[in-house]
């Protein structure tokens, strides 16, 4: 029974590592989007619609740069 549990653990390890990497990437993207929403809402409350739209555009541009860097391996 103990040998069987060890085999199962050994086989599941690569799958679990891949899952944790994927979950970390997803949560990282979600955090970045949430930050953009918070900045946009704060600009809208403090300075009005024009500032909120400018901040939203800047956040979209910044997110696009992050995605583009991630696709080419994160190098400069």
Total number of domains constituting the chain: 1
Residue 48 lies in a domain: yes
Encode pLDDT of 58-72 as tens digits: 999 999 888 888 777
Tell me if 9 is assigned to some domain. no
Find the domain containing 33 and state its range. Answer: 24-76
pLDDT digits over 3-60, tens only?
766 777 788 888 888 888 888 878 888 888 999 999 999 999 999 999 999 999 999 9
Annotate 50-67 with DSSP letters as a single string. Answer: HHHHHHHHHHHHHHHHHH
Please check whether residue 12 lies inside any domain of the structure.
no
Can you tell me the distance from the alpha carbon of 55 to that of 33, in angstroms, rounded to the nearest whole number?
Answer: 13
């Amino acid at each position: 029974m103990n040998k069987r549990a060890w085999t199962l653990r050994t086989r599941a390890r690569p799958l679990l590592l891949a899952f944790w990497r994927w979950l970390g990437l997803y949560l990282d993207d979600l955090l970045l989007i949430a930050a953009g929403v918070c900045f946009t809402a704060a600009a809208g409350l403090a300075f009005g619609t024009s500032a909120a739209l400018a901040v939203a555009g800047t956040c979209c541009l910044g997110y696009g740069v992050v995605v583009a860097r991630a696709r080419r391996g994160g190098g400069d």
